[in-house]
Structure 1
Amino acid sequence: MLLLLQNRGRMTAEELASELDVSVRTVYRDIEALSSAGVPVYADRGRTGGYQLLGGFRTRLTGLTEQEAKALALAGLPGAAAELGLGTVLAAAQLKLDAALPTELRAGARELAERFYLDVPGWHRGIERLDQLTDVADAVWRSRRIRVDYRRWDDSAVERVLEPLGLVLKAGNWYLAARCEGDERTYRVSRIDGLSDLGEEFSRPEGFDLAEYWREWSARFERRLYPRTATVRVTPLGRELVPVYLGSVGARALRETATEPDSGGWSRVELPVEPGAPALGELLHFGPELEVLAPAELREQVAEAVARMGALYG
């Protein structure tokens, strides 16, 4: 209750009871206990009243469990923080956290940090290092309208006026969620060639949730990226290779569509595939561990490619 009041300000007894899953009577009792313990909590009476801490009161970082302290050691992304110009800020915060933790919890957190390390990018690409990223981040922090020179996927150049809403780091790549001409859109930061601050603040959309926006946008992007489905059958090894070659899309297809293995060990799966030539390349990765059953034209393309490869190798 103390942490809720500290972080949210004024809250009614009903709000506290709902948040803590207790009765209002319990809230009254615990408020009295906090007050008796010397915590400066007071009540505003009336229809819009509630409980509130005396201005400026803060509790120390007490009550952390050993597991919570260890989890905090994994919470930071130092590489990403450095990209955003927050590397020294993160280091200072970690020092303050270490100083506030009891000795036994501090030792446990350091022990975990020595044994686990989070490396975000994949093997074949690193985190993008971009001159514009800190400026974009600054515009996000300060809700500043910006003008950008942007390269689209076909390498054509456009100019856009953006209201930056948030930054997302996905597999080593930075993406900007922004409002443009009244619509919420996503831009890859590496394609921003130039940026200027227009000197104007904007009001963020009420209720905008960056995590929810990113989930919805990712789902739409995935549907565009994989607009059709191939019916295939895979060997046990092919089944293991599906998430390796197709990532989370393949893993979900296995969970949702894979049949039980037949007597020969083969399973049938409905795999999302890209349009055109990329689909052929994806399926050829599997070699003899996957057979395309449908659509017929895709099966024919795979058969033709395999025949050409057979002729090439004699």
Structure 2
Amino acid sequence: MAIVLLLQHRGQVTAAEVARELEISERTARRDLDALGTAGVPVYSVQGRGGGWRLVGGARTDLSGLTAGEARALFLAAGPASSATPALKAALRKLVHALPEPFRAQAEAAASSLVMDPRLWGSSRVEARPPRFLDELQDAAIRGVQVRLGYVDREGTETERTVHPLGIVAKGPSWYLVATTETGRRTFRIDRVSSADPTADPVHRPGDFDLAESWRAIADEVERRRTPLEARAMCTPHGIDVLRIGFGARLEVGGSTADGRIEVVIRGHDEHKLAGELAGLVDYLEVTGPPRVRDHLASIGNALTARYKPGAASSMEEHE
């Protein structure tokens, strides 16, 4: 795609120019140009001084009809830059070089204007239904223009303010706008937006702003408010990966102790529920506090011992 766009945009290119633009070797560029001809793309080489590669008769493909909006859509469909693989990031970088100059800035902005976070708050269930003003706000973030935003808070109070869109985040089924306002940086649930009117005024974007890093900080703060209880524990080294899988961002890993174990902190919503989550990790974990979590763990252990000790009748046998 990138080579065809280069041919269409420039008329003629050399293997050296393709190599330089797409950050590949000249040998790879020649091989890829030959492969285009084999695949049926009407390209041919002109030998001698001033030679290069051209499309037969100035032939063009559907790629030549890309509008600015379609170029942005292509980069959005390829996936947000924050979660792209190294190979995809390289491909997007190469493709951007082949786009007409007026399209490049918005195409690059599209690749960095979206973060996908599929996990629900406190759940693994994923659903999706894009909210009403998603397209308008995403377009404003990409174009870098301010928006007059109508917003209804959780109490049902509607307000209006001018915001500077910095990016869009998908969190499970919910979509969020990250923006700066007169009172600082704010996050808005897009399904609570009642109106979105783009203005002609440019967004004031902090030079060091990174949407993925900003969202991680926001999500961590929300998780801390949702899980205010902290249990302290000592974990064996081979149990750390188990904890990471089970608790994710709720786990904080500290330093090693004299006996080789690792200090950890695990956050939860309440003592009883957190003790239930920790009870099955006795092979890896020794909970050191708080006392109420240890008490709940002891109660769970006593109940399990009473239920499953040798000779204990099952509930089915008791009813028969």
Compute the TM-score of the two structures, normalised by the length of structure 2. 0.49
Alignment map for 1:9-20 (pairs within 5 Å):
none
What CA deviation, in whole Å up to 9, does each residue of 1:232-260 have, x standing for no partner?
A: 1334553331111122453xx33x32436
CA distance in 1, matches of 2:262, 2:95: 52
State yes or no: 1:273 paired with 2:267.
yes
Give the equivalent residue in structure 2 for 1:97. 95
2:234 and 2:262 in contact (8 A); partners too: yes
Deviation at 1:195, TM superposition (A): 2.7
Give the equivalent residue in structure 2 for 1:296. 291
Q: Report SS of the residue matched to 2:128.
A: coil
State yes or no: 1:197 paired with 2:186.
no
Task: Please provide the CA RMSD for this pair.
Answer: 4.4
Alignment map for 1:38-187 (pairs within 5 Å):
62-63=19-20, 64-66=22-24, 87-88=73-74, 97=95, 121=118, 124-126=124-126, 128-132=128-132, 133-141=134-142, 142-150=145-153, 152=154, 156-162=155-161, 163=163, 164-169=165-170, 174-180=175-181, 182-187=183-188
Change (3 A) 1:307 1:158: farther
| Structure 2: runs of 5+ lacking an equivalent | 1-16, 29-69, 79-90, 100-115, 313-320
CA distance in 2, matches of 1:310, 1:245: 25
CA distance in 2, matches of 1:297, 1:91: 49
Deviation at 1:128, TM superposition (A): 3.1
Compute the TM-score of the two structures, normalised by the length of structure 1. 0.50
Q: Report SS of the residue matched to 2:295.
A: helix
The one-letter code matched in structure 2 to 1:207 is: P
Deviation at 1:228, TM superposition (A): 4.9
Aligned residues: 210
Q: Name segments (4+ residues, structure 1) moved above 6 Å.
A: 91-94
Q: Report SS of the residue matched to 1:137.
A: helix
Identity of counterpart residues, as a percentage?
Answer: 27
2:169 and 2:177 in contact (8 A); partners too: yes
CA distance in 2, matches of 1:147, 1:299: 48
2:148 and 2:199 in contact (8 A); partners too: yes
Deviation at 1:275, TM superposition (A): 4.0
State yes or no: 1:240 paired with 2:229.
no
